[in-house]
Structure 1
Amino acid sequence: MDVEVTGAAAASKAYDADTIKTLSSLEHIRHRPGMYIGRMGDGSHPDDGVYVLIKEVIDNSVDEFIMGCGRRIDVSIHDNLIKVRDYGRGIPLEKLVDCVSKINTGAKYNSDVFQFSVGLNGVGTKAVNALSEFFRATAVRDGKFKTAEFRNGV
C-alpha cells in the first residue's frame, strides 16, 4: 500500500494555539479509551474492554491479598451491574474520591505500602469510573465508611 501525504492536505486545516486542548484525566480516558483498555466492544468478544475494566477492579482486591491484608473477594453480576467487594484495608476515607477519579493517584507508588501490585497502578479504577455509566466506590476503615458515586466519570 502506498500513501502519499502532501502539504496541501495539511494546509487545509488550521493548526495553531487555538487547536491545542488540555483534557482532564477522565476526559482523556473517555475520549481515547483504546489507549487504556483496547477495544470498547459490547462484551460479546473476549477482547472487549469491559473485561479489562472488571480485571482492573479485581486486581486492586488481589493486591490486598498479596500484601496479606485481604480476607475475601466477592464478585457479583446482576442486571448489567458488576460489584466487586474486598475485605482488605480499605482506601483511606479522606482520599477515596481522589483515588477513584484522579489519574496517577494512589498508594502503589509507595513501596512501604505495596511492595508488589498488579494492574494499571493509578489508572485502572479511574478508567472504570470514566467509562462506566454508573460507578460507586465505598471504602470501609476502622468501623467508618465513605461512598463516592459518579455518572460517566462525573
Structure 2
Amino acid sequence: MAVEQKGKYTEDDIKSLDWKEHIRLRPGMYIGKLSDGSAPDDGIYVLIKEVVDNCIDEHTMGFGKNINIQIDGKTVHVRDFGRGIPLGKLVDVVSKINTGAKYDSNAFQKSVGLNGVGTKAVNALSSFFGVTAFRDGKMKTAEFERGKLVKETREEITSEPDGTLVTFTPDEQIFKNYHFRFDFIENQILNYCYLNAGLVINFNNKKFISKNGLLDLLEHKTNPDELRYP
C-alpha cells in the first residue's frame, strides 16, 4: 500500500480565486480587523470609510458638497450628489478589481480611496450590497449578495439629482456579532469635514460641517486656553 508523501507540492495545489473569493478568504488584507465594532479601527468602520472616500473624491473634484449617511440597524446607506457612476459601467466599477476612473485619468486628479479595490471589498464582505447611480436624468441599480450579482436593472428616467447611492449590510459570516458605535462614526465624519471645509455630511439626520477646516480641528482637539492667535 503506497503511503502518501506528506507535504508534497504539485499542480493540483495551485488554485485561482476570483475577486470576491479572494477578498472573503483574506479580508484582513483589504479592511484590517474583523472585530465586532467595539474599536474605532474595526473593519466595519473601514467599510463605511471606503464608500465615503468615493464621495469625498467627488467633492474634491468640485461635484457635490453634501453627503447623506444613514444607518438602520446593521444596514448603511450613503448618498452623494457628485457626478454619478457612468451607468454602462455600474456593475464593473463595484465588482471588477482594478477597474475605475482613478488610474491616470482626468476624471480624478485627486483620490483618497483604495483605487479600484475599496468598493469591491465592501461588496464582497457584505451580505447585501446595492448601488444606484443617478446621471443626466437617468438611473440604474445593481444588487449583490456577498459579491455575487443578483439583480441589474435597465436604465430608467429619473428626476433625482446626479450622484450615487450605496447601501450595504456587513456580512455576519465575516463580522461576528457586530454593532455600530455612532460616536466612532461621528468622529470619522468630523475629520472628513475638518479636512474639507464647506463639506456638509448629514448622519442620521444630524448635520456636520466645518467652515474653517483645520482651524476648527485645532480648536476641537486643543484646550482653548492653549491657543494663541497672532
Fold conserved (TM > 0.5)? yes
1:117 pairs with one of 111, 125, 143: 111
Deviations 1:42-74 (A, max 9, x none): 212222111111100000000000000123100
* Alpha-carbon offset, residue 39 of structure 1: 1.3
Equivalent residue of 1:134, what SS?
strand
Structure 1 equivalent of residue 156 of structure 2: none
1:91 pairs with one of 85, 96, 99: 85
Structure 2 unmatched runs, 5+: 149-230
1:56 pairs with one of 29, 50, 58: 50
Structure 2 equivalent of residue 149 of structure 1: 143
Aligned AA (2:61): M
Structure 1 equivalent of residue 228 of structure 2: none
Give the whole-Å Cα distance in 1 for the aligned partners of 2:130 and 2:105. Answer: 27
Aligned AA (2:129): F
Give the whole-Å Cα distance in 1 for the aligned partners of 2:77 and 2:104. Answer: 27
Structure 2 equivalent of residue 102 of structure 1: 96
Give the whole-Å Cα distance in 1 for the aligned partners of 2:76 and 2:56. Answer: 17
Deviations 1:10-33 (A, max 9, x none): x62231100101111111101100
Aligned pairs (5 A) from 1:2-41: 12-41=6-35
Q: Indicate the RMSD between aligned Cα atoms, in angstroms.
A: 1.0
* Alpha-carbon offset, residue 147 of structure 1: 0.5
Give TM-score scaled by structure 2 length: 0.61
Which 4+ stretches in 1 moved above 4 angstroms?
none
Give the whole-Å Cα distance in 2 for the aligned partners of 1:71 and 1:140. Answer: 16
Q: Which has the larger radius of gyration?
A: 2
- State how many pairs are aligned: 144
Give the whole-Å Cα distance in 1 for the aligned partners of 2:123 and 2:76. Answer: 13
Structure 1 equivalent of residue 124 of structure 2: 130
Aligned pairs (5 A) from 1:73-92: 73-92=67-86
* Alpha-carbon offset, residue 96 of structure 1: 0.4
Contact 1:26 1:103 in 2 (8 A): no
Percent of aligned pairs sharing the same letter: 66
Structure 1 unmatched runs, 5+: 1-10
* Alpha-carbon offset, residue 150 of structure 1: 0.5
Structure 2 equivalent of residue 6 of structure 1: none
Aligned AA (2:110): F
Give TM-score scaled by structure 1 length: 0.90
Aligned AA (2:122): V
Structure 2 equivalent of residue 65 of structure 1: 59
Give the whole-Å Cα distance in 2 for the aligned partners of 1:14 and 1:43. Answer: 41
* Alpha-carbon offset, residue 86 of structure 1: 0.2
- In terms of fraction of residues, the more strand-rich structure is 2
Give the whole-Å Cα distance in 2 for the aligned partners of 1:59 and 1:47. Answer: 16
Structure 1 equivalent of residue 155 of structure 2: none
Aligned AA (1:47): D
